[in-house]
Amino acid sequence: MNLPNILVMVILNALLFVKADYARAQTPISVEIIKTETGYKLLRGGKPYFIKGAGGTNYMDKLRNYGGNSIRTWSTHEGQRILDEAHKLGLSVTMGLAMATERHGFDYNDKVAVARQLERVRQEILQFKDHPALLAWGIGNELNLHYRNPKVWDAVEEVASMIQDLDPNHLVTTMLAGVNKKEIDLIKAKCPSLDLIAVQVYGGLASVPAQIRSTGWDKAYIVTEWGPTGHWEGPQTPWHASIEESSKEKAAVYKSRYEASIGQDKSCLGSYVFLWGQKQERTPTWYGLFTEAGEENEVVDVMHYLWKGKWPKNRAPRLDSLLLDGKKSLDFIYLKPGQNYDVAVFVTDSDKDKLRTRWEILHESTDLKEGGDRESRPARIEGLLTALSHDKALLVAPQQEGAYRLFVYVTDDHNHVATANIPFFVSTTENPSHNTLQPPHASNSYQFSETAFWADEFNYTGLPDSTKWSYDVGSKHNGWGNSELQYYTDANLNNVLVSNGTLKITALKEKMEDMDYTSARLVSRHKGDFLYGRFEARAKVPRGRGTWPAIWMLPTEWKYGGWPNSGEIDILEHVGYDQDVVHISVHTKAYHHSIHTQKTATKKIEAASDDFHLYRIDWTPDHIKGFVDDIEIFHFSNEKKTFKEWPFDQNFHWLLNLAVGGFWGGQKGIDSSIFPAILEIDYVRVYNLKNTD
């Protein structure tokens, strides 16, 4: 054989080898779910596989090195590159299939548009279904966020059924915002081809196992987004700036929430932490485990521990506090234009690394979106900060009145960072009215009567006045829908007593009807029902981890449907693990915590459990304002749209109760030594609305 023929044979053999190698590389790895005696198990290639994943496609090599095994995407954009890189690193991929949403204008009644979307998704599935890195398909992202048309679930089923036909080797799911029984009931009825569901939860992660069970979902699930306390869940300033946790606080909640839920629920097949990268969402630091410069915060250390069972050799710096003018975020900081203020940060490093600090001032973000939609980063303001040392700086307050935020980044020599920020408001007055920050259509011309037309002063002894109060009894709907652990008794002096001028609602550690605690819930339904007015309650909350007292209002007739459609008004809420922080909120179909849109405000007050404080809402046709000790902290405007945004045109009634545990009150466990725990109320009063328009 001559040399040219030999060369041809060598080349042909090489090509055949490459083709065979490529074919082997494109052999899918079969994935399945099996039911066990205690729950469910995921098998990949016949071997047990628990998802230790992250959302995002950055830093995949670090993910693998720190013990992670999977990534999640939101679409098939750059799908080949992502799958190939993941495969080289030994990672799997839950591949997102982008689906249009109603909140972005898509109409699921449009059969042509739905068919066009289905065909586009079909081509994406055919392109990637045989890739060995593929683990599962995720249909859409939070399709239940601000949707009205249940036909979206018909479209999900069409895609899921198509995947079962085209790709029997991989799982198929859809990603839901929160855990909501209504949506899960629809999915159970309309989407039988889904192998499992995927939920996305932040502050309420620890309660997900109980919530999943309460919906009746009897298949496996995964958590495809989880992370810090969401910007819709935590405290807000009077000017409606959400208060972000520091990197230290985030590390603590990531660890505790994971260990309480994902780490122990046998029906959970794993999760994808959010976000393995960086993005602007409310702030540049809220959700990313990395900074814009690629530095790793303390949460990355936590994920290393959760995935590998041991801490990394070198740890990130730990930021204990950030102070502006000697105050923290929850002190709600007001500065005068052009004046000087001290800034201090307190940071430690367990490895004794040399630390460096950088500071930044931004305008408070106004490009606010929902559902993770892209937001623009506010411009940096130069020339206002002078570093005095690694832990101190001098701030000159901006000349222009308005809302700002101070950021600090403390780094070591190992690409680690500690972060925190403080929102502040620049004003020429000591306590500015924040009505100027509200939408222009919010009316300020309402007044209220000087004397209460309905009240209970609790100036008698014995059970509460039966002409004003009835009782909710029992532990209905899986702990009243919140996984609470108390049984509410009926007119029991051990749990509810008026004496010495106050109402005392007492939670006791005692068994009743398979519940471990007893307490009371008073309601004024059909004895005190109101449309508009000023509602006041002077109260002292209990002290101790595990309590969840509330003074609130619900609709009397539920004209617009079950919760949250017909609305809820929370005049006071408190959870015992977050002492001296009180909450005022409203809930509607469009705005509630299950879909990450809750409208709420929080205030830190002195001695919430030692002294009485005045809690109040002013409810008018145009707005609901909330006050603590006559200081406005909350404002919710009537957008003049539909009942979904404003169901507050019907009668509501009072509820006074003390819950134990639950998805919020029990988020950090229950201290059994605190009982009996007492919510004490001096009075409740209602003043008539007088419209002076």
Known catalytic residues are: 568, 573
| CB neighbour list of residue 168: distance below 8 Å, 6 or more residues apart | none
Backbone region of residue 371 per phi and psi (left: phi > 0; alpha: psi in -120 to 50; beta: other values): left
Contact 424, 336 (CB under 8 A): no
From CA 585, how far away is CA 235, in angstroms rounded? 11
Structure tokens at 10: 């060598």
- Contact between 54 and 71 under an 8 Å Cβ cutoff? The reply is yes
* b/e map 194-208, b = 16+ CB within 10 Å: bbbbbbbbbbbbbbb
Residue 333, phi then psi, degrees to nearest 5: -90, 125
Q: What is the DSSP letter of 478?
A: H
235 vs 573: CA distance, rounded Å: 12
* CA geometry: angle 670, 674, 675, nearest 5 deg: 100
- d(Cα 116, Cα 122) in Å, to the nearest integer? 10
φ/ψ of residue 570, rounded to 5: -105, 110
CA distance 541 to 665: 13
CA–CA gap between residue 143 and residue 38 (Å, rounded): 31
CA atoms of 49 and 43, how far apart (whole Å): 5
- Chain centre distance of CA 40: 26
- CA 549 to CA 554: how far, in whole Å? 16
Task: Let me know if 692 is exposed, middle or buried by CB neighbors in 10 A (0-12, 13-18, 19+).
Answer: exposed
CA distances to 64, 572, 610, 646 from 88, in Å: 11, 54, 60, 52
Alpha helix (H) residue ranges in 191-261: 208-215, 247-260
